[in-house]
Chains A and B, each alone.
Chain A
Amino acid sequence: MKLLEDQAKAWLRARHLPVPDGRAAHTPADAAVAARALGARVAVKALVAAGRRGKAGAVKMADGATAAEAAARELLGVEIAGQRTRRVYVESAVDIAAECYLSFGFGRLAPQIVVSRRGGVDIETVAASDPAAVVAVEVDAMRGLSVWQAAYLWERAGVESKLVPLLASLTARLYAAFRDADALMLELNPLAVTRSGELSIVGTMMEIDGNALFRHPEWQDLNLEEPGPGGRALNERERAVIAADRKFQGGAIRYTELPGDIALFVSGGGAGLLQHDLMLAAGGRPANHSDLSPASIDKPAALFDAIFANPGAKGLLIGMNYLQLLPCTLIIEALLPSIERNGVDPRRFPIVVRLFGPKEDEARRLAATVPGIRYLPHGASLEDGVREIVALVKASPGR
């Protein structure tokens, strides 16, 4: 979940890290008030969770309240990187002498830190044109990052000696902030050196770990959400699945709608990926992708409700990998009431079930009480399930 810059900077400021004064504004008039309070020159930035905002014209410098008001008027409501600008951030301008780059993220096994003496531009560009200016290393997650390790990084990146202790000390504190925030990513770009020789965090991007929200009550209500494919807004069914996923304990559900007509209720990450591939290869068009690791009946039920409410869906494949941890009845006991609730007739809306494992016989008996559900014989492959639903939906009269 990406934080907006005002949220990220508020968090850093609370840890006494050097962030310029600033405040968010929802209207041009608010921006003028903010600029007046900050005094002198300000930067007005569109608050959208995206990098490269400078290039996108989303950052404007303004001298005084009137100019800040005009800048805010230009930015508010504008769409940047697929997101509408609902508020701007007004921040004291920093008198920059030099710009560095610093980021924290994750490598294959461990946290990773990247530093460069060349900030203010895309790090990918610097890495391509001047690889010696970029140093990336993994951090020992048990030990954290010491000041001397950080000093060695900046030294290798080629910054001048007198800056090394300053940068090293700040870098170690920022690593602790990255860890304590349960951030997945924290990028400081530019990390500015001012004309008076101090460090200032001018640009910030921060992404926090949705799996660690339980220890961050401060972010519980931010209502952050990821955009759907192509940066489109989530629809009501996708939102409902996210809400159910957060509401009910244990397991996980995910649901993304796509333009096709065969709904996928598929489990176990990998088996879902494979069935989606197989469906495209068989000429079928998925109406959604889903993923499920069920623990109780609530999450599968919410996923079925979303699938049946999707007007684009004309049939459903329940394609589970061989269940090893849960009874098959759990899925059928979620399915049958959802069919009822949503007024689905499986004789007109084909439902193919490929579901084997514990309590399979009982699941078959339950499924047989609703006419039209096609429960594949024990031993049918994932491929069989895909072929069956593609054929049935092609031949179906529609709901």
Chain B
Amino acid sequence: MSILIGTATRVLVQGATGAQARFDIRYCLDYGTRIVAGVTPGRGGEMVEGVPVFNTVASALAATGADASAVYVPARGVKDAVMEAVEAGIRVLACFAENVPRHDAAAAVAAARSAGAHMAGFNTNGVISPGRCKLGGIGGDRAAQIYAPGRIGVCSRSGGMSAEICWMLSRAGMGASTCVSMGGDPIVGMRMVEVLKLFEADPETDACVIFGEPGGTHEIEVAAALRSGELRKPVVALIAGQFQERYPAGVSFGHFAAVIKGENDSASAKRRILAAAGARVATSLEEIPQLLTT
């Protein structure tokens, strides 16, 4: 088992005819992911890397039974793409567009959540269940090298750091059950604590690694769930961005979501609150494998 995606997942690609989508589709197919359909309105009947393209999600689903979607539609059109997918019955999505207008992001996330869909992004590089399936470009051309299969659940606010963490795990002889890049935009489809609750229920996940940043309350919600006992599996937390505290509040140095506004928004506060709740706090990548084994 794994969370969100697995060997049975049938993947749809929205915006399949764009350059990034083509690049990723090739690597996903090589990885063994079952990409069954693409959608680009107006391009129905074409093929991308041997995958049939449809005009609408509804027709793609009727023909292929896809159940997860990799959404490459750019920021300006992505709200409609998400709504179309969840209305058609898609229940797992990865949305790669970044800098999505905030009102569009809120509407798309509301649509996904009210349908009970799990959505990574906006500004995710995907979800991977090593050796089984990957949704999106995550891992690039060396997904097998970076993401080894194993029993650690990884949830990261940064797509790049999901790769660094999993690569560190694989070099230490460990691996991931599933790695979820949540997305770096201010509004994303899943809360970090929701992802960790999926790992909690997954019999093939023994422990979790989270990567957090300043800004927002994802990490604070995880700490609350650790305290309440809703999360019982060990959590190793790497929270970057402590340097921001040297500069005035309200300045963003990374992801737009990583802006310090409130007193619990800083990296230091999050490290402290997570540690007090029982999480093992790492300050560098190199410490993660050893914190998982102690």
Docked Cα-Cα span, A4 to B255, in Å, equals 26
**B255 cross-chain contacts in A, Cβ below 8 A:** 269-270, 291
**B81 cross-chain contacts in A, Cβ below 8 A:** none
Contact check, B284 vs A278: say whether CB atoms are below 8 A apart. yes
Contact check, A106 vs B102: say whether CB atoms are below 8 A apart. yes
Given contacts A277-B241, A325-B20, A381-B286, contact A269 B160 (CB under 8 A): yes
Could you tell me which residues of chain B, from 11 to 49, have a CB within 8 Å of some CB in chain A? 20, 23-24
Query: B100 on the interface (CB 8 Å rule)?
Result: yes
Given contacts A106-B187, A142-B111, A209-B103, contact A274 B248 (CB under 8 A): no
Q: How near does chain B come to A116, taking the closest CB pair, in angstroms?
A: 19
Contact check, A142 vs B254: say whether CB atoms are below 8 A apart. no
**B139 cross-chain contacts in A, Cβ below 8 A:** 324
Docked Cα-Cα span, A215 to B75, in Å, equals 12
Q: How near does chain A come to B70, taking the closest CB pair, in angstroms?
A: 12
Stretch from B55-63, B163-171, B197-205, B228-236 at the A interface: B163-171
Contact check, B187 vs A269: say whether CB atoms are below 8 A apart. no
Query: A110 on the interface (CB 8 Å rule)?
Result: yes
Query: B159 on the interface (CB 8 Å rule)?
Result: yes
Docked Cα-Cα span, A141 to B107, in Å, equals 5
Query: B69 on the interface (CB 8 Å rule)?
Result: no
Contact check, B217 vs A209: say whether CB atoms are below 8 A apart. no
Query: A184 on the interface (CB 8 Å rule)?
Result: yes
Give the number of residue pairs across the A-B interface with Cβ within 8 Å: 176
Could you tell me which residues of chain A, from 98 to 154, have a CB within 8 Å of some CB in chain B? 106, 108-111, 140-142
Contact check, B158 vs A268: say whether CB atoms are below 8 A apart. yes
**B258 cross-chain contacts in A, Cβ below 8 A:** 269, 273
**B247 cross-chain contacts in A, Cβ below 8 A:** 229-230, 258
Could you tell me which residues of chain A, from 320 to 342, have a CB within 8 Å of some CB in chain B? 320-325
Query: A310 on the interface (CB 8 Å rule)?
Result: no
**A66 cross-chain contacts in B, Cβ below 8 A:** none
**A272 cross-chain contacts in B, Cβ below 8 A:** 253-254
Contact check, A271 vs B187: say whether CB atoms are below 8 A apart. no
Query: A267 on the interface (CB 8 Å rule)?
Result: yes
**A321 cross-chain contacts in B, Cβ below 8 A:** 158-161, 163-164
Contact check, B156 vs A110: say whether CB atoms are below 8 A apart. no
**B171 cross-chain contacts in A, Cβ below 8 A:** 379
Query: A50 on the interface (CB 8 Å rule)?
Result: no
Could you tell me which residues of chain A, from 73 to 113, have a CB within 8 Å of some CB in chain B? 106, 108-111
**A278 cross-chain contacts in B, Cβ below 8 A:** 284
Q: Which of B99, B140, B186 contacts A106 (CB 8 A)?
A: B186
Contact check, B102 vs A270: say whether CB atoms are below 8 A apart. no
Docked Cα-Cα span, A140 to B213, in Å, equals 27
Query: B138 on the interface (CB 8 Å rule)?
Result: yes
Contact check, B140 vs A270: say whether CB atoms are below 8 A apart. no
Contact check, A382 vs B101: say whether CB atoms are below 8 A apart. no
Contact check, B254 vs A109: say whether CB atoms are below 8 A apart. no
Query: B66 on the interface (CB 8 Å rule)?
Result: no
Q: Mark A302-320, 1 if CB is under 8 A from B, else 0.
A: 0000000000000000001
Q: Which of B103, B156, B163 contacts A141 (CB 8 A)?
A: B103
Given contacts A209-B102, A229-B248, contact A322 B160 (CB under 8 A): yes
Contact check, A211 vs B102: say whether CB atoms are below 8 A apart. yes
Given contacts A230-B247, A325-B20, contact A277 B242 (CB under 8 A): yes
Docked Cα-Cα span, A19 to B49, in Å, equals 57
**B104 cross-chain contacts in A, Cβ below 8 A:** 212
**B99 cross-chain contacts in A, Cβ below 8 A:** 211, 252
Query: A239 on the interface (CB 8 Å rule)?
Result: no
**A267 cross-chain contacts in B, Cβ below 8 A:** 160
With both beta carbons as reference points, the residue of chain B lying nearest to A280 in the complex is identified as: B243
With both beta carbons as reference points, the residue of chain B lying nearest to A210 in the complex is identified as: B99
Query: B191 on the interface (CB 8 Å rule)?
Result: yes
Q: How many residues of B contact A (CB 8 A)?
A: 66
Q: Mark B147-158, 1 if CB is under 8 A from A, else 0.
A: 000000000111
With both beta carbons as reference points, the residue of chain A lying nearest to B214 in the complex is identified as: A273
Contact check, B110 vs A270: say whether CB atoms are below 8 A apart. no
Docked Cα-Cα span, A230 to B246, in Å, equals 11
Contact check, B211 vs A324: say whether CB atoms are below 8 A apart. no
Q: Which of A110, A231, A320, A379 contacts B106 (CB 8 A)?
A: A110
Docked Cα-Cα span, A286 to B253, in Å, equals 13
Q: Mark A245-275, 1 if CB is under 8 A from B, else 0.
A: 0000000101010100000000111111110
**A357 cross-chain contacts in B, Cβ below 8 A:** 140-142
**B129 cross-chain contacts in A, Cβ below 8 A:** none
Docked Cα-Cα span, A214 to B76, in Å, equals 8
**B213 cross-chain contacts in A, Cβ below 8 A:** 269-270, 273
**B217 cross-chain contacts in A, Cβ below 8 A:** 108
Q: Which of A110, A228, A256, A274 contacts B238 (CB 8 A)?
A: A274
**A379 cross-chain contacts in B, Cβ below 8 A:** 171
Query: A225 on the interface (CB 8 Å rule)?
Result: no
Query: A173 on the interface (CB 8 Å rule)?
Result: no
Query: B114 on the interface (CB 8 Å rule)?
Result: yes
Contact check, B146 vs A209: say whether CB atoms are below 8 A apart. no
Query: A374 on the interface (CB 8 Å rule)?
Result: no
**A325 cross-chain contacts in B, Cβ below 8 A:** 20, 23-24, 125, 137, 140
**B114 cross-chain contacts in A, Cβ below 8 A:** 142
**A106 cross-chain contacts in B, Cβ below 8 A:** 102, 106, 186-187
Q: Mark B71-88, 1 if CB is under 8 A from A, else 0.
A: 000011000000000000
Query: B269 on the interface (CB 8 Å rule)?
Result: no
Given contacts A277-B241, A321-B161, contact A270 B254 (CB under 8 A): yes
Could you tell me which residues of chain B, from 171 to 211, have a CB within 8 Å of some CB in chain A? 171, 184, 186-187, 191, 211
With both beta carbons as reference points, the residue of chain B lying nearest to A185 in the complex is identified as: B102
Q: Mark B256-273, 1 if CB is under 8 A from A, else 0.
A: 001000000001000000
Q: Taking beta carbons and an 8 Å cutoff, which residues of A are in contact with B? A: 106, 108-111, 140-142, 179, 182, 184, 209, 211-212, 214-215, 228-231, 252, 254, 256, 258, 267-274, 276-278, 280-281, 286, 289, 291, 293, 320-325, 357-358, 379, 381-383
> What are 18 inter-chain pairs, A to B, with CB distance below 8 A?
A106-B187, A142-B110, A179-B103, A182-B101, A209-B101, A268-B161, A269-B254, A270-B211, A272-B253, A273-B213, A273-B240, A273-B243, A273-B244, A274-B241, A289-B253, A322-B160, A358-B142, A381-B164
8 A-B pairs with the lowest CB-CB distances in the bound complex, closest first: A270-B158, A321-B160, A268-B160, A324-B140, A212-B101, A141-B106, A273-B240, A269-B255
